[in-house]
Amino acid sequence: MAAASGSSRSSSPDLDLFELLLRLGDDRLVLGHRLSEWCGHGPILEEDIALANIALDLVGQANLFLGLAGTVEGEGRDADALAYFREAVEFRTCRLVELPRGDFGMTMMRQFLFDTWSWHRLGRLRESSHAELAGLAERSRKETTYHLRHSSTWVVRLGDGTEESHARVQRALDDLWWFTGELFVTDEVDARLAERGIAPDPAVLREPWEETVREVLVRATLHAPEVPVVARPARRGDHTEHLGHLLAEMQILARSHPGASW
Amino acid sequence: MAWSPALTAERIRELLREVKDPEVPVLDIVEMGLVRDVVVEGEGVRVDITPTYSGCPAMEVIEAEVRAALAAHGISGATVRRVFAPAWTTEWMTDAAREKLRAYGIAPPPPGPAEPVAPLGFGPTVRAVSCPFCGSPATVLESTFGSTACKSLHRCEACHQPFEHFKPH
């Protein structure tokens, strides 16, 4: 297969690649924003700093993926234009990252489920036939390794901790489990990208994801709910009610003062 | 503007040593391995920089300082390009840079290729980090994230000094 590159065909942008880059960028932008809500509210100083650092990594990754998305689209939109001047229906986030941060147990469990998915996915994306995407995946994978180390440690500490921490993090797992289904849904865009060797078919990530998740849950004395995970794709702009509120807060400065810099 | 008659990539690299990492001011960007390429084309100069972390807030400062440092030597209008592949690794840090880090109180990353970091935060994979102050290997990890994303937070059980470690990456 030739090294496919959407950016080289300026006459007809590679819309599948654009879509993929939005999905990668939007998930990280929204989750990074959620984590940043902890800034100044962490349970201990070290954790406050850690969450801010992880948020910074995620927003940085979003900047890279959205920047490349803008180049691929070829309409002159940069990462900021994509982040601050799209409506909720145009976002391509999964629902998992949109949910409110909840308590610390909820934040850490969500982070762990996402980090595990992200770690396996970026690992595969390093082999992408699109060289620039492969480079961004390599860069982001290294950061994600440390994120996963952090979140997996906390899941074990909270799960195998006090009665209170165990109950809270188990409740978080029960609440979040349903939202993991859509991470592994293959739609027509995914199928075409997999065919071209640009990105892995999301379905192939389920097994390694489950393996890692189970290993940590066993150690944490937690139990995955015995309910089938319903996969209702949200990628087409069908979001939770929470996304719009998050975007309103995130986008207002850029929209009130277009072009402002500091 | 006084163009140096011998404006070579090598000379530019020398000038770039004046640019320090704003987060770790004892290190310059060349010994940190951030400078991937220097190209002198006609009257223009292009410097390729590889960012350490995606969200590193120092990158924009570094880019501005590269342009300023070159301009101070009469080289105006240099372009700075960010290059992401191959991804930056602590392997590119020079031995001298590692020693400077240690003297500054930051435990440096080990030399050579950065070993793959285990993705789960438990098990036998956690490497001992020697204290940069007393050299003792009896240290404990306090947090994977320190004052910046590239550093973790540790404590020495021998001399009781808390310290930071530049993580292998």
Residue B126 has pLDDT above 60, yes or no: no
d(CA A156, CA A217): 7
Task: Kindly list the distances between the CA atom of residue B27 and the CA atoms of B34, B65, B108, B162, B164, in Å, as whole numbers in the listed order.
Answer: 11, 14, 12, 21, 15
What is residue A230's predicted lDDT score, i.e. its pLDDT?
63
Low-confidence ranges of chain A (pLDDT < 70): 1-11, 227-237
Q: Give the bridge partners for B82, in sequence order.
A: B49
Q: What is the mean pLDDT of chain A?
A: 92
CB contacts of B88 in chain A (<8 Å) are 139
Distance CA B154, CA B142 (A): 5
Residue of A240, A254, A197 whose CA lies nearest to A99: A240
Query: What torsion, rounded to 10 degrees, do the Cα atoms A192, A197, A202, A205 define?
Result: 160
Q: Closest approach of chain B CAs to the CA of A153, in angstroms?
A: 5
Q: Is the pLDDT of residue B167 over 60?
A: yes
Report the residue of chain B nearest A54, measured CA to CA: B149
Three-class SS state of B66: helix
Contact criterion met (CB below 8 Å) for B71 and A117: no
At residue B28, φ and ψ (nearest 5 deg) are -95, 165
User: What is the rounded radius of gyration, in angstroms, for the C-alpha atoms of chain A?
Assistant: 18
**B151 in helix, strand or coil?**
strand
CA-to-CA distance for A254 and A262, rounded, in angstroms? 12
Partners of B28 in the beta sheet?
A: B20
What ipTM was assigned to the predicted interfaces of this complex? Answer: 0.85
Q: Which tens digit of pLDDT belongs to each residue from A80-100?
A: 999 999 999 999 999 999 999
Across the interface, of B55, B116, B146, the residue whose CB is closest to A57 is B55
- Torsion angle of the four alpha carbons A176, A179, A183, A188, in this order, in degrees rounded to the nearest 10: 180
Looking at residue A6, its pLDDT comes to: 43
Residues 6+ apart with CB under 8 A from A210: none
Nearest CA in chain A to B54: A60
Alpha-carbon distance A70 to nearest alpha carbon in chain B (angstroms)? 16
Nearest to B149 among A57, A134, A136 (CB): A57
Range with lowest mean pLDDT among A92-96, B124-128, B131-135, B163-167: B124-128
* Residue A89 phi, psi dihedral angles, 5° rounding: -65, -20
Of A49, A131, A152, the CB nearest to B145: A49
Interface size between A and B, measured as CB pairs under 8 A: 99
Higher-pLDDT residue of B123, B53: B53
Output b/e per residue, A4-20; b: 16+ Cβ within 10 A: bbbeeeeeebbebbbbb
- Structure confidence by residue, pLDDT tens digits, B38-60: 999 877 899 999 988 888 888 88
Query: Which residue is listed with tokens 């998930």?
Result: A27
Residues 6+ apart with CB under 8 A from A126: A134, A137, A138, A141
pLDDT 10s digits, A29-79: 999 999 999 999 999 999 999 999 999 999 999 999 999 999 999 999 999
Residue to mutate among A146, A147, A221, with most B CBs inside 10 A, is A146
Per-residue pLDDT at A1:
38
Q: Whole-angstrom Cα distance, residue A166 to residue A107?
A: 14
Q: Show residues of chain B in contact with A58, CB under 8 Å.
A: 55
Contact A46 B143 (CB under 8 A): yes
Count CB-CB contacts under 10 A for residue B61: 15
Q: Do B119 and A47 touch (CB under 8 A)?
A: no
Positive or negative torsion for Cα A155, A119, A239, A98: positive
Does B119 sit within 8 Å of A148, measured CB to CB?
Answer: yes
Supply the mean pLDDT for chain B.
88
What is the per-residue pLDDT for B87?
87
Q: What is the pLDDT of residue B122?
A: 73
